[in-house]
Amino acid sequence: MIERNLGQIAEMLGGSLCDPNYKDVKISGVSTDSRTIQENNLYIPLVGEVFDGRLFVKECEDKGASAFLIDRDYEIKNNISIPYIRVDDTLKALQDLARSYRKELNVKVIGITGSNGKTTTKDLLYEVLSTKYKTQKTIGNLNNEIGVPKTILSLNEDTEIAVVELGTDKFGDISLTSNIALPDIAIITNIGDSHLHNLKSKEGILKAKMEIVEGLSDDGIFIYNGDDETMKKEIDSYKVDQKIISFGLEDDNDFVVKEIPSTPAKVSFSHDGETYDIPLLGRHNIYNGACCLLIANILGLDTNEVKSGLVKVRPANNRSSMIELDGFDVLDDSYKSNPQSLRSGLATCKLLDGYNNKIVVLGDMLELGDKEDELHYEVGLDIDPKDIHYCLFFGDLSYHMYKGALNNFPKDRAFHFTDKDDLIDKLKSFITKSTLVFVKGSHGMHMEEIIESIRSLKL
């Protein structure tokens, strides 16, 4: 984490230290949250529509914070005694401090964006690169205008590689965070239907994701999924001065891997005569693994280092993780949903053998824009009654998924709910010995609550 004195922090920010006598006060790490502040942290209070971190400065002082940042015109209460630095805007100061710290570090940054696969690719890279280098990664989902600066500021001085996830909701988001992270390698995993409400089309999504190259170092490398239809069609329209490498299963890519038939416990692929195994579910993870292998090759890892790293990865919470319960299993993919990732999840369900009964519990896919009804309907239409026994849909938008499913399912095998408790009651009635329950929906639908409700079910 960042360790500097207040004189250095003020210089990095162009801020005004309250008293020059405090210039040698040391800070270790930063925090924007009074609930998790640590001793000797620099507290950076943020202000939003429904919160004001400036109200908690005294609490942070009591918990051991060394100092804090504050707006130039904000009146500080008399009961606060720790030093402070005046800045124009605390959020911008957080971002400026991270950018300045990044420039001082001798670290190679790998920036990752994409509609799907960011977190899994990040985790794969972390496990693989950690076999050779001191590596840090984005923790959790800290991938926005606040999370990326906090990730950069969490890096230790001796970190050799940082794997940083960059997310987006609108144009300009990744432009900002890329110019903070300043990646040496920039990756786009794929282009899906997420955030269509703001970005309008897959071409718009690609435009937003391509902002990642704005902060890419002059001698950096841009890597993208060459099998992705949108990127394949549009990538040549973008001017990228740095080296470009495409990866995928198709032979026209710069870096090609070959699919090997998977088992329920892992996916496998080959490259240059070597086979690589990843203990994750879903064919889409071949692409995540291929990207990881490509970067490992660029950074000089040998085959054994890559293989030993890949097998260490585990599913992130609520992301294609298998939960074994009393006589039945839950495939928990409840963290997020969009048409691309949902179809991948359904394909994974089809591959999983040994179940007498398969149930899908699907919630709304949010932020899909003007075509949200149509996109839900099309996914429902694609659900195959030969693979799935029962479909339970939750939410207003999922009604269109339900209507699509009714083209192939009888009404005693497909159901729509607007009340989660009613859905849970129906789901419990369908679960028998050797059942697989697949749960997926956008984060805002809180589909994880459904999983929690059946954890204690005894058959």
Ligand-binding annotation for 204, yes or no, is no
Token code pair at residue 225: 């999924």
Question: Is residue 135 annotated as involved in ligand binding?
Answer: no
How long a stretch of residues is the chain? 459
The rounded distance, in Å, linking the Cα atoms of 363 and 336 is: 10
Domain ranges of the chain: 3-90, 105-311, 321-455
Summarize pLDDT for 230-239 with one digit per residue, the tens: 999 999 999 9
Of the candidate CATH numbers 3.40.640.10, 3.90.190.20, 3.40.50.1860, 3.30.70.1350, the domain formed by 321-455 belongs to 3.90.190.20
- 114 annotated ligand-binding residue: yes
* 32 labeled binding residue: no
Residues 6+ apart with CB under 8 A from 179: 99, 214, 215
pTM of the predicted model, to two decimals? 0.85
pLDDT of amino acid 78: 83
Whole-number Å distance between alpha carbons of 204 and 339: 17
**In three state form, how does the secondary structure of 5-41 look?**
EHHHHHHHHCCEECCHHHCCCEEECEECCCCCCCCCC
For 3-90, CATH number out of 1.10.3720.10, 3.90.1150.10, 3.40.1390.10, 3.40.50.10710 equals 3.40.1390.10
pLDDT digits (tens, 9 = 90+) for 252-284: 999 999 999 877 778 999 999 999 999 998 889
User: Residue 133: pLDDT above 80?
Assistant: yes
Which pLDDT value is given to residue 172?
A: 95
pLDDT greater than 80 at residue 194: no
Assess whether pLDDT exceeds 70 at residue 195. Answer: no
Rg of the chain over CA atoms, in angstroms?
24
Q: Cα–Cα distance between 224 and 235 in angstroms, integer?
A: 9
φ/ψ of 286, rounded to 5, equals: -60, -40
pLDDT for 117? 87
Instruction: State in words which class domain 105-311 has.
Output: alpha beta
More confident residue, 319 or 26: 26
Binding residue per annotation — 119? yes
Residue type, 265: A
